[in-house]
A = this chain, B = another copy of it.
Amino acid sequence: MSVNIARENGKKRVVIVGGGFGGLKLANELSGAGFQVILLDKNNYHQFPPLIYQVASAGLEPSSISFPFRKIFSKKKDVYFRMGEARLVYPEKNILQTSIGKIEYDYLVLAAGTTSNFFGNKHIEEEAIPMKTLSEAMGLRNALLSNFERSVTCATEQERRELLNVVIVGGGATGVEIAGALAEMKRYVLPKDYPDMDNNLLHIYLLEATDRLLAGMSSESSVKSAEFLRSMGVKVCLGKKVLDYQDHKVILEDGTEIPTRTFIWVSGVCANAIGNLPDSVYGRGRRLKVDAYNHVEGFSNIFSIGDQCIMLGADPDYPNGHPQLAQVAIQQGKLLADNLLRKEKGQAMKPFRYRNLGSMATVGRNKAVAEFSKVKTQGWIAWLLWLVVHLRSILGVRNKINVLMNWMWSYLTYDRSFRLIIYARKAKEVIDREKREAEVHWGEEGAPQR
């Protein structure tokens, strides 16, 4: 296996790991600037995480919030896409070892984002349903719908209760948004779909370990979002820490047990791992410590941007690091492109300063919270703002139209269109290949050894 891209005379090569908001912005900005850009991602598409919860709750199709990298780059001759996973860095050799072979770089940018953090609990890791990726969102949708189907025919009241309780752990934006979406599904869709199900048996729990929802926002937004959710029938439980999940029961620190077979985990993230960097570069949540120019600590040609990195003590407004938000990643990607050009021209690089454009979370129809520097708003204005901001940010005219149409349809009909339980069948060829790749061991030389 090899990346199969020849070096170009006189062009420095920038290898970007991860095509999320940061990596994609960087690649697009670098295109046409005299570099050879290689973007590596484990998926063949860019995705739009803020709407993943709508895929999980059957309101959108995954294709509406994702976009094939090859289509994005089809007119950019200097940007190469490769599907694969980064494994190890050999900084002294400027080589990145990946699942598709080794790649030489002049500049390496780690923009691989985060993954769900189960805080070391194996039961939870195995049994909980995370919601970070489109694949997980589809899995949650399928599990949710098949649990509902199952609740109609199951043998015991105990099992029925487990099947109909939905427990969401984590009161950040994702937890709030999926709780709201499921509450609306319960209210508007399920009674029609399941005339023989007792809707009162279906309970949606939102558990948060701290004393408020939306910790990243103001306390007004926290209070209002909890109020919205409660008015929609969600059992919002604050100050409740989850200890374990056993025998279809979520076990809380205070001894309470909540029976459920739909145990959704959106409680925290840690940065995606990359091997062979010194331990000293890791900050909290496995994030890579970077300086004001996004250099990974101690390296002059390895950078990290977005959720995977943490910038400590460099941005005066955020001495303890930035929140893990799309805007931070996008602004870092844009500045880094600029800085790489400056560096090539022998100019001084500019330090990063995050410009907070505001934050928002939606709970349901006409219900959202939003805050911008000095303005805070809740309710339908916030909700409309949320719609506009997200629609604008989705990549591609086609996708924008699709999402808008789906939203209008759902708003008018109170319906969720995509209540289908479908698992793509995995071809044996694909299974075999994945097994082979997982068995490859990576030697010191950066060459695969079997």
Report Cα–Cα, A247/B49, bound state, in Å.
40
A370 vs chain B, min Cβ distance (A) = 30
Judge if A357 is at the interface, Cβ distance under 8 Å. Answer: no
Q: Which of A89-97, A222-230, A414-422 is found at the contact surface with chain B?
A: A414-422
The answer to whether B139 touches A424 (Cβ under 8 A) is yes
Which of the four size classes fits the interface of chain A? 35 or more
The answer to whether A63 touches B417 (Cβ under 8 A) is yes
Most B CB contacts (10 A, CB to CB) among A4, A129, A150, A427 go to: A427
Report Cα–Cα, A419/B426, bound state, in Å.
16
The answer to whether B153 touches A82 (Cβ under 8 A) is yes
Report Cα–Cα, A104/B4, bound state, in Å.
63
The answer to whether A139 touches B426 (Cβ under 8 A) is yes
Judge if A33 is at the interface, Cβ distance under 8 Å. Answer: no
Nearest to A396 among chain B residues (CB) is B417
Nearest to A141 among chain B residues (CB) is B424
Nearest to A264 among chain B residues (CB) is B427
Partner of A428, one of B80, B127, B422, B430: B127
A439 vs chain B, min Cβ distance (A) = 15
A58 vs chain B, min Cβ distance (A) = 9
Report Cα–Cα, A138/B63, bound state, in Å.
13
Give chain B residues whose Cβ lies under 8 Å from the Cβ of A26.
none
Partner of A4, one of B134, B141, B152, B192: B152
Judge if A1 is at the interface, Cβ distance under 8 Å. Answer: yes
Partner of A100, one of B3, B153, B425, B429: B153
Judge if A319 is at the interface, Cβ distance under 8 Å. Answer: no
1/0 per residue A394-409: CB within 8 Å of B?
A: 0000100000000001
Partner of A422, one of B135, B150, B248, B262: B135
Report Cα–Cα, A134/B80, bound state, in Å.
32
Judge if A62 is at the interface, Cβ distance under 8 Å. Answer: yes
Nearest to A80 among chain B residues (CB) is B196
The answer to whether B62 touches A422 (Cβ under 8 A) is yes
A416 vs chain B, min Cβ distance (A) = 10
1/0 per residue A59-73: CB within 8 Å of B?
A: 001110010101100
The answer to whether A153 touches B1 (Cβ under 8 A) is yes
Judge if A157 is at the interface, Cβ distance under 8 Å. Answer: no
The answer to whether A429 touches B143 (Cβ under 8 A) is yes
Give chain B residues whose Cβ lies under 8 Å from the Cβ of A193.
68, 70-71, 74
A40 vs chain B, min Cβ distance (A) = 11
A107 vs chain B, min Cβ distance (A) = 21
A258 vs chain B, min Cβ distance (A) = 15
Report Cα–Cα, A288/B136, bound state, in Å.
41
Report Cα–Cα, A141/B268, bound state, in Å.
33
Other than A66-B422, A74-B195, give 17 A-B pairs with Cβ distance below 8 A. A1-B154, A1-B155, A4-B196, A43-B420, A43-B422, A44-B421, A45-B421, A66-B420, A71-B193, A100-B153, A126-B428, A138-B424, A139-B426, A141-B424, A147-B429, A261-B429, A398-B409
Q: Which residues of A contact B (CB under 8 A)?
A: 1-5, 43-45, 61-63, 66, 68, 70-71, 74, 77, 80, 82-84, 100-101, 126-127, 129, 133-136, 138-143, 145-147, 149-150, 152-155, 192-196, 248, 261-262, 398, 409, 415, 417-430, 433
Can you list 5 contacts pairing A with B, beta carbon distance less than 8 Å?
A: A61-B61, A133-B425, A135-B423, A141-B424, A142-B427
Shortest beta-carbon contacts, A-B, top 5: A139-B425, A138-B424, A70-B193, A143-B427, A100-B153
